[in-house]
Structure 1
């Protein structure tokens, strides 16, 4: 099991899934990325289409779009998250959805097996995704941008993709990986938004539930946490600047000539 899988398993066991019950007020300047992502995925659906969701976690996001497909598979490396996903699937009554313990880099699926691959802030294995997609199929990927929670990471001196704001935009790097794998990028859209946490406790709870700060510990990190809260507190709450992106790509249809 990878360290990421271990983190998500701990979150699932502690909180019962991958979600935050921390109170915040969110302001979406560029639109809500999750809603845009879901809309893209639903538009690609069809009654006979197969969807593969990679890094499905507790499955709740996948279940929102599953109705648009005839066959849906969610894969993850965290067995604890998959147990949560099975419960949510049962509550939703979606028998055409399955959840499986699989490695995104080696899915074991046949070539050209699925019509759509999705990954929400999960792994991106461009060559494997290209392989399992049928010609004409599509990939929809949601990632976390280089400016995400930058002020928080600078205060702590560490964090997810720490220092990446000095290099190539992460969305452009993802687009380049997909192009190198033989896919054609059709959408590359950035989303900047703000979260205002209602109290220091809400922000503390949130940081335990997400991988923004590796190894976050309330006691050990009290000094930088208190400093960030003091610097980021505004009338609306404790501000956290977010930066996500959505990339969509297609697998070309190779036309064969007839002599």
Structure 2
């Protein structure tokens, strides 16, 4: 099986749809975690926020009234174009979106009061550098057990076969090494019900849950078998698993 090129995949999806999942019909059962709700609780309206891996900017735009200035960065030109279009459509004047890599954040030391990162990789040392003393970093990430029944059917998938908690431990250690002294963690798993097969197909085509989905001859046969086995009265059942870290510098 060929190695999955996540960066090329990410750029392609950004150009195609800017991660616009608004038309996907899915219901959730259970209590999940939400990074930006946590941010709103901490913000006082005077902060400068950096959002790493901002994508199409939908999330940061939705909470922009809670901070003085929000800066979203992403390494995809398609994502940044979508984010700027969304900002213009919403008339937001306190949000900026910039093409930038998370491993080299082109801002001065101690520039931001808050830093967030949702479902994207980050450099703990760069986060620590641009964050003020006593500032907070918050990240929400996809756990290894996310969409586990789907990955089991395909016999492959994002973090498939990796022990639960591996990514969280990696990030906690990186944050500790970068000088963060207070790190809190939380996890959640909720049941998801996708209303139609096309909703699940859209998800698999536009996320790396099943790398190279649709490029193998039996992918749609496997998907059909999965749908038949996991269809309930509420929809096609799977799970969403996430973890969140809140770290104080």
TM-score (structure 1 length as normaliser): 0.87
Runs of 4 or more above 4 Å deviation: none
Cα drift, residue 219 of structure 1: 6.8
The 1:90/1:229 distance shift into structure 2, 3 A limit, reads: same
2:28 matched to which residue of 1? 26
The 1:152/1:185 distance shift into structure 2, 3 A limit, reads: farther
1:87 matched to which residue of 2? 85
Match of 2:74 among 61, 71, 76: 76
In the TM superposition, 1:134-173 aligns within 5 A as 134-164=132-162, 166=163, 168-173=165-170
Deviates more, 1:209-218 or 1:104-113: 209-218
CA displacement 1:136-158 (0-9 Å, x = unmatched): 10001000112111121121121
- Contact in 2 for aligned 1:33/1:246 (Cα 8 Å): yes
CA displacement 1:24-52 (0-9 Å, x = unmatched): 2221x2x2323xx2222123323432100
Which ranges of structure 1 fall in alignment gaps of 5 or more residues?
252-259
Taking the aligned partners of 1:20 and 1:162, their CA distance within structure 2 comes to 27
Taking the aligned partners of 1:119 and 1:161, their CA distance within structure 2 comes to 19
In the TM superposition, 1:218-257 aligns within 5 A as 220=217, 221-251=219-249
**What RMSD over aligned residues (CA atoms) do the two structures have, in Å?**
2.0
> Could you say what secondary structure the match of 1:53 adopts?
strand
Match of 1:9 among 8, 11, 18: 11
TM-score (structure 2 length as normaliser): 0.90
1:197 matched to which residue of 2? 194
Which ranges of structure 2 fall in alignment gaps of 5 or more residues?
none
Taking the aligned partners of 2:10 and 2:123, their CA distance within structure 1 comes to 19
The count of aligned residue pairs is: 245
